[in-house]
Structure 1
Amino acid sequence: MSGLLRIGLLGAGAHSQQNHGPSWRDYVIRHPGVVELVAVCDLDADRAKAYADNFGFARVTTDLDQLLAEGLDGLVAITPMDVTEMLASRVLEAGVPVVIEKPPGVGIAGAQRLLDVAQRTGTPHMISFNRRFAPPLQRARTWMTEGGHQARHVISRMLRRNRLEPEFGRDTGLHQVDAVLSVTGRPQRVEGHYEFPQGTRAANYTARIVGTGGITASVVQTPDVGVAEESMEILGDGFRAWINFQDGVVQIDADGERVLEWSAANPAMALHEANGAYDETVAFVEGLQPGGSLAPTMEDGLATMQAIIALQEGTTWQMGA
C-alpha cells in the first residue's frame, strides 16, 4: 500500500455526525499526509453534502456501489441496525476493509451470518465498540501491561433512568458487556439473571461471566434507577483500577497508594474523544497499515451478543454447549 489511505463513509446520520465525522476530521488535522477522505454515501443527498462539508470529505453519493468503486482502502459503515447485516455483507463481499456499527446484525443469528461472510471472504474488519477505546480504560490497560499486572475480577455497572425499551441491553448494554470482555477475554460461561417484579417499569439484569484464563466478571444493568452511571472496577493482586465511563475518569490504587489519576475534563476533551470514538478511528487506520490487524472482530461481536442475550434472558450460555 502506498500513498494516502483512501477512506469512505457510509451513513451520515446523527450518531455518525456526533462521533465519526468529528473523529475523521480531527485525525486528518493531527496526522496530515496519512488518509484521504474520499466520499460520503447517504440516501439523503443533502445530508451527505452537509456532512462532507463539515468534516472534509471530497465527494458525495447516494449509491453504495458507486462508493465501493472508489478504490477505497477502508470504509466506515454507520448504519441502522436493521440494515447493518445486509450492507456490511455487501462491503465484505466487495473486499473493502470495514468498520461496522454495533450490534453486528439483529440477534445471534445475524451476527453469526456476518461472521460467516467475514470468514469466507477474509475481508479485514472491526466492529465499532468504542468503549474499548475510551481513554480511561486505555490508560488502565496500559498501566497494567507496562507493570505486568493481571486482572482477576471485573465489576461493572450500567445505571440509567427511564430507559424502558425492551431492547435496552442489546442496543446500549452491549457496550458495557463488550468493554468487560475486552478485559476478561472471550466468555467461556455466562450466567444471566433478571428480576422484573410486578409494579416495576423495567427489569434489572445481572450476570457472572467467566472469561479466558479464568478471569471473572460481575455485571449489573439497571435501566430505570433515576441516574446515569457507567463504571468498571478491575481487580488484581495488589491493585484496583476504577473507571468511570460517564465522566471519563480513571483512578488506580496499588499497595495502598494512588498511583494514577486522570480525567477527560482536564484537559477538556470533546465528546468524540472522551467516549473512545477518536481512538477507535486511530486503531482503524493503524490496522489498515501493512502488518496491522483490526479488532474487535465479528468473532468478538458474536461473543458479546451471546453474553448479552444470556444477560437479558436470564439464561446460562456455555462455550461449546
Structure 2
Amino acid sequence: MFKICMVGCGEHASRVHGPSLRRYAGEEAGVELAACCDIDCAAAERFAAAFGFARCDTDYREMLRREKPDAAVVVVPVPLSCAIACDVMRMGVPLMLEKPPGANAEEARRLVQVQQETGVPHRVAFNRRYMPQLRKVEDLMRQCGRPPEYIHYTMYRVRRFEEDFSTTAVHAIDAVRYLAGADYAQADFSYRAIAGQKAVDIFMDARMENGCIARIDICPGAGLLAETLTVSADGSTFFAALPTGERWLLPAGVSRFEAGKRTEWTMEALGMGDTFYEAGGFYAEGATFFNELRAGNKECLMTDFASSVQPVEVSQYIARRDTAYRK
C-alpha cells in the first residue's frame, strides 16, 4: 500500500490538492490517503471528509510517526514552509512542498542543504512546470533543437493590492527560467505605482545565461485574471494562454506561428480536462511525483529544491523594490 499524508488543510489545499489526491487515490490501485493534518482541528476534519482521508490530526510530527507514509504533501503558510519541510525530510518522508520553497533565498538554500544531508526525494509544487500548455511549448522548442531566443510572460490579476506580490510573482520568474533552460544572468526591474494602493505593477527585463532574452510584466490591478506566454525560437513563435482560476477568460490552448502560418492545439488536443486542478497542472505535479516514487525512480526527484533557489532569490528583489539583479 502506498500511503500519502497531507500537512495543511487550508483554502489552497482544499481547492486543488485535495481534489487531485482524491482523484489519484480513486484511479490508482494500492493508494491510501492515510491522514491529513492542520492546527485547526475542524479544518482537518472537513478536509478528511471531503477528500477521503482515513484519519486527521493537529500535530504533523505525530501523524508522520504514526502513519509512516510513503509521501507527504506540505501546503502551509510561507513563513512555516521551510521549518516544516526540513522536519519532514529529517523524518525520512518524501515530500511535495507548495511554492515558494521558503520565505527567502536563505531558507531555500537551507532546504537544499537538508535535502542533501537526508537524500529525501522531493518536488516543489511550481504548477506552471506541469501545465499542459507549458509542456507542449517545451516539447515544440525541443524539436527546434536550440534554446529559445526570447520569452515574454505576462501575469494579470484583479484587485490584488497586497504590498508584497513576490510570492505570486515567483511563478512567472520560475516559469521563464524553466522554459529558458538556464539561470538568470541579470535582470532589471521597473515599477509603476497603482493609484491609491501600496501595490505596484512590476516590469522585469532579463538575460539568461544561455543568451535568451526575457521580459516579465506583472500587473496585479488589471481588469482580468490571466497569464500569457510568448516564446520565439529558431524562426517559430509560440503563444499560450494559461488557466489561472476556476474560470479562465482566454482560450487556454497553444499556437505556433511559422512563416506566417498558424498551427493550433486546443484544450482538448492538449488533454487538459475541464477542471482547474487538472488544467492548472496541479494533478500532474502530484501524480508524476507519486508515480516516480512508486516506480523507484528517485534519482529524478533530487533537484527541485536546488532549481528553485534562484527564482526565490530573484523574487526577493521584487519584494524589496530593487532595480537590478546580477548573479
Please report the TM-score for the alignment, with normalisation by the length of structure 2: 0.87
The aligned amino acid for 1:10 is: V
Partner of residue 181, structure 2: 185
The aligned amino acid for 1:270 is: T
Q: 2:267 aligns with which of 257, 260, 263?
A: 263
Instruction: Provide closer, same or farther for how the CA distance between residues 295 and 135 of structure 1 changes in structure 2, counting only shifts above 3 A.
Output: farther
The aligned amino acid for 1:179 is: A
Q: 1:253 aligns with which of 253, 257, 260?
A: 257
The aligned amino acid for 1:257 is: K
Match of 1:213, SS?
A: coil
Instruction: Provide closer, same or farther for how the CA distance between residues 54 and 276 of structure 1 changes in structure 2, counting only shifts above 3 A.
Output: same
Partner of residue 317, structure 1: 325
Match of 1:263, SS?
A: coil
The aligned amino acid for 1:252 is: R
Please report the TM-score for the alignment, with normalisation by the length of structure 1: 0.89
Deviation of residue 268 (structure 1)? 5.3
Deviation of residue 18 (structure 1)? 0.6
Query: Which blocks of at least 5 consecutive residues in structure 1 are unaligned?
Result: none
In structure 2, distance between residues paired with 1:215 and 1:32: 44
Partner of residue 211, structure 2: 214
Give the alignment of 1:1-321 within 5 angstroms: 4-33=1-30, 35-69=31-65, 70-146=67-143, 148=145, 150-168=147-165, 170-197=166-193, 199=195, 201=197, 202-246=199-243, 247=248, 248-263=252-267, 269-288=274-293, 289-292=295-298, 293-294=300-301, 297-312=304-319, 313-319=321-327
Range moving further from structure 2, 72-81 or 185-194: 185-194
The aligned amino acid for 2:50 is: N
Match of 1:221, SS?
A: strand
In structure 2, distance between residues paired with 1:287 and 1:266: 21
Q: Deviations over 1:63-87 (max 9, x none)?
A: 2122222221111001011211111
Range moving further from structure 2, 306-315 or 11-20: 306-315
Q: Give the total of aligned pairs.
A: 314
Deviation of residue 240 (structure 1)? 1.3
Report sequence identity in percent: 29
In structure 2, distance between residues paired with 1:214 and 1:267: 32
In structure 2, distance between residues paired with 1:296 and 1:119: 10
Instruction: Provide closer, same or farther for how the CA distance between residues 237 and 311 of structure 1 changes in structure 2, counting only shifts above 3 A.
Output: farther
Instruction: Provide closer, same or farther for how the CA distance between residues 243 and 71 of structure 1 changes in structure 2, counting only shifts above 3 A.
Output: same
In structure 2, distance between residues paired with 1:165 and 1:317: 23
The aligned amino acid for 1:283 is: T
Query: Which blocks of at least 5 consecutive residues in structure 2 are unaligned?
Result: none
In structure 1, distance between residues paired with 2:144 and 2:200: 40
Instruction: Provide closer, same or farther for how the CA distance between residues 132 and 266 of structure 1 changes in structure 2, counting only shifts above 3 A.
Output: closer
Contact (CA 8 Å) 1:159, 1:225: kept in 2 or not?
yes
Q: Deviations over 1:157-197 (max 9, x none)?
A: 112232221111x2211111111111013423232322345
Range moving further from structure 2, 85-94 or 217-226: 217-226
In structure 2, distance between residues paired with 1:218 and 1:63: 43
Range moving further from structure 2, 154-163 or 202-211: 202-211
Contact (CA 8 Å) 1:17, 1:51: kept in 2 or not?
yes
In structure 1, distance between residues paired with 2:258 and 2:89: 45
Deviation of residue 276 (structure 1)? 1.0
Match of 1:303, SS?
A: helix
Contact (CA 8 Å) 1:160, 1:226: kept in 2 or not?
yes
Instruction: Provide closer, same or farther for how the CA distance between residues 198 and 38 of structure 1 changes in structure 2, counting only shifts above 3 A.
Output: closer
In structure 1, distance between residues paired with 2:231 and 2:219: 20
Instruction: Provide closer, same or farther for how the CA distance between residues 99 and 242 of structure 1 changes in structure 2, counting only shifts above 3 A.
Output: same
Instruction: Provide closer, same or farther for how the CA distance between residues 314 and 276 of structure 1 changes in structure 2, counting only shifts above 3 A.
Output: same
In structure 2, distance between residues paired with 1:16 and 1:251: 32
Instruction: Provide closer, same or farther for how the CA distance between residues 48 and 197 of structure 1 changes in structure 2, counting only shifts above 3 A.
Output: closer
